[in-house]
Amino acid sequence: MELFSLILCALSVGLIIPAIISTIYNQYVFRRKMKNIPQCGGFPFGVALEMLKLTPPERVQWFKQRIQQFKEGIFIYWVGLDPFISIYKPEFVEIILPSTVNIEKGYTYKMLHSWLGKGLLTSTGKQWFHDRKLIGPTFHFSILDQFAIVISEKSEILTKCLEREIAKNPGKAFNIFPFTNNVALDVICETAMGVDIHAQEVETKYTTTIHRNSILILKRLFQPWLWTDWVYHLMPLGREYKSAVNRLHKFTNEVISKKKIARQSQNGSARSENEDDDGVDIGKRKRKAFLDLLLDQNEKDETPLTDDELRAQVDTFMFEGHDTTAVAITWTLFLLGNNLEQQEKVHEELDEVFRDSETPASVKELSQLKYLERVIKETLRLYPSVPFIFRKLAEDVKMGDYTLPKNATVSIEILYTHTNPQIWSDPQKFDPDRFLPENSKHRNPYAYIPFSAGPRNCIGQRFALLEEKTILTAVLRKWRVKSVKTPDEVQYGAALILRPFEEIFMSFTPKK
């Protein structure tokens, strides 16, 4: 027995020690390649414990300080034994984003798999190329015209909701964010799934669930001991996250199931005009939702998506097409409410295009609003809805004097690229004319990437800009707005998207 134990011990030592030596050696080689890149965070936890103590707004300030400290446009912060290589110099960003090799999202995106599956945001390799090709036709210009009708209808409901709120307390400021959240949710539910949930008239837990999930994922990011799924799901935060994901999946699954049954029963005929048993209208119009278009494409495809894969794509568009647009509209109104001279130019343009008309804006009229377009662009420069993107390197990458090793995670800091003082003069100033053609022509195209760039750019960016323009136009044709706080006073931070961490109070005055 003793001899057997000795043999086991010897075998264990013989296997474990080489594994430890190999790990140490690989770490040594890995770190040597990055030795000349500025770094912060000591062994063994890196900046994880420091970050855990900070609120999301405080983390924004932490990164701003590092950007000021490391002016080379690159630095590494360690989370546990994992390096995150932050880049915010356009010339560096230009090396990563156009690549067709380094398209895998960073390890942290795996934390989204239980929620978003392997949808377009999180998938990689052959699956991503297949899905991108499959989904691309659903965002054709002719399809956007159909979506424009839905956006216009939801915008009209928003103005009525704002009228009621203003009538309650005339002249009093109120928080605009819930209104933009609900109109964006209304739009994405009907355009993505063909479901009218009346989010602007009936309270829904969908937005709060998405927001809470975003917070939970960010908390997990800075706790590397929770990166293993089975450990995380044993913890209270993990159980809360899983419960929330189940609620979101239940909603999407029900809609997909009803859509499929309706398609089978109709055999290609027009969609039913009837409401379902829950009072949720999934087919009151002949125009098609993203899910309908996706099912159409899927039926033609040689390797069609499974039900779980369909749900992953729809959940991805529900998440990416709702929160991001809501914050973009909020920040645009907030900045116009702080920059009344620029707001007056918007009103002058609206008066010139619409004159005395009270009919909803058409796509053609929206295309004439060039100054409003520049206002939106400048807002997305200062407050990009997605403030950072992670990529895992599939190969060693040379970046100036630096070598970024294979398997390292690169964090493309969109927020800090957009406010890099070496690129943008007076970067915190709100100036829509930065985007006049004559002011943009010599600028590096990777200095401004609110929708990413390269093969993994945002497939829905035209849809997002159409929605933002439509909703802002509907509001600003009726009111002038004024913000209670200045940008320096408002707390904001990254919880997957760049959202306000306090109420955004604004007052509304009818246009005369």
**Looking up tokens 């998440």, which residue turns up?**
319
- Beta-bridged to residue 388, according to DSSP, are 413
What's the Cα-to-Cα distance from 315 to each of 150, 182, 191, 192, rounded to whole Å?
19, 17, 13, 9
Residue 255 sits in which domain range?
A: 37-510
Which pLDDT belongs to residue 239? 93
| Peptide bond connecting 304 to the previous residue in cis, omega within 30 degrees of 0 | no
**How many other CB atoms are found less than 10 A from the CB of residue 229?**
14
Q: Residues for the chain: how many in total?
A: 512
In a domain, 19, yes or no: no
Which pLDDT belongs to residue 303? 79
Which pLDDT belongs to residue 157? 95
Please work out, in degrees rounded to the nearest 5, the angle formed at the alpha carbon of residue 328 by the alpha carbons of 322 and 329.
Answer: 90
In a domain, 285, yes or no: yes
In a domain, 320, yes or no: yes
Binding site as annotated, residues for heme: 458
In a domain, 223, yes or no: yes
- Going edge to edge, which strands form the sheet with 505-510? 174-175, 505-510, 479-483
3-state secondary structure of 421: coil
Dihedral (C-alpha) 64, 69, 73, 76: value to the nearest 10 degrees? Answer: -90
Total count of domains within the chain:
1
In a domain, 144, yes or no: yes
In a domain, 249, yes or no: yes
Residues 323-335 as b or e (16 or more Cβ within 10 Å = b)? bbbbbbbbbbbbb
Binding site as annotated, residues: 458
DSSP assignment of 291-338, as one string?
Answer: HHHHHHHHHH-SSPPPHHHHHHHHHHHHHHTTHHHHHHHHHHHHHHTT
In a domain, 318, yes or no: yes
Which pLDDT belongs to residue 14? 62
Asked if 242 and 233 count as a contact pair (C-beta separation under 8 A), the reply is yes
From the list 269, 310, 268, 283, the residue with the least C-alpha distance to 134 is 310
β-pair type (409-413, 402-404) = unpaired
CATH code, domain carrying 464: 1.10.630.10
Report residue 69 as tokens. Answer: 């400290």
Which pLDDT belongs to residue 212? 83
Sequential pLDDT tens for the chain (512 residues): 565 566 656 655 666 777 667 666 666 667 777 788 888 877 667 788 888 888 889 989 999 898 888 888 999 988 877 889 999 999 999 999 999 898 888 777 888 888 888 888 888 888 888 888 888 877 766 777 888 889 999 999 999 999 999 999 888 999 999 999 999 989 988 888 888 878 888 877 777 787 788 778 878 877 878 888 888 988 999 999 999 999 889 888 888 887 777 777 765 554 444 444 343 444 444 567 888 888 887 778 777 888 888 888 888 888 888 889 999 999 999 999 999 999 999 999 999 999 888 889 999 999 999 999 999 999 999 999 999 999 999 999 998 888 899 888 999 999 999 999 989 999 999 999 999 999 998 899 999 999 999 999 988 899 999 999 999 999 999 999 999 999 999 999 887 789 999 999 999 999 87
Which pLDDT belongs to residue 3? 58
Say how far apart CA 468 and CA 472 lie, in whole Å. Answer: 6
From the list 273, 312, 109, the residue with the least C-alpha distance to 192 is 312
Which pLDDT belongs to residue 6? 60
Which pLDDT belongs to residue 24? 65
In a domain, 180, yes or no: yes
